[in-house]
Amino acid sequence: MGENIQTQPMDITSDISLSDLQELIRKMYFDKDSARGAEATFLWFTEEVGELAAAVRSGTSEELHEEFADVLAWLATLANIKNVDLTQALVAKYGSGCPGCGKLVCQCPDNEKP
Distances (CA, A) of 66 to 13, 33, 40, 61, 99: 17, 20, 21, 9, 30
What are the tens digits of pLDDT across the range 2-28? 444 455 556 666 789 999 999 999 999
Residue 48 reports pLDDT greater than 60: yes
The DSSP code for 83 is T
Higher pLDDT, 114 or 25: 25
The CATH number of 18-83 is which of 3.40.1790.10, 3.40.50.2000, 1.10.287.1080, 1.10.287.950?
1.10.287.1080
Mean pLDDT, the chain, whole residue set: 90
pTM: 0.83
Residue ranges per structural domain of the chain:
18-83
Contact, 101 vs 107, CB < 8 A? yes
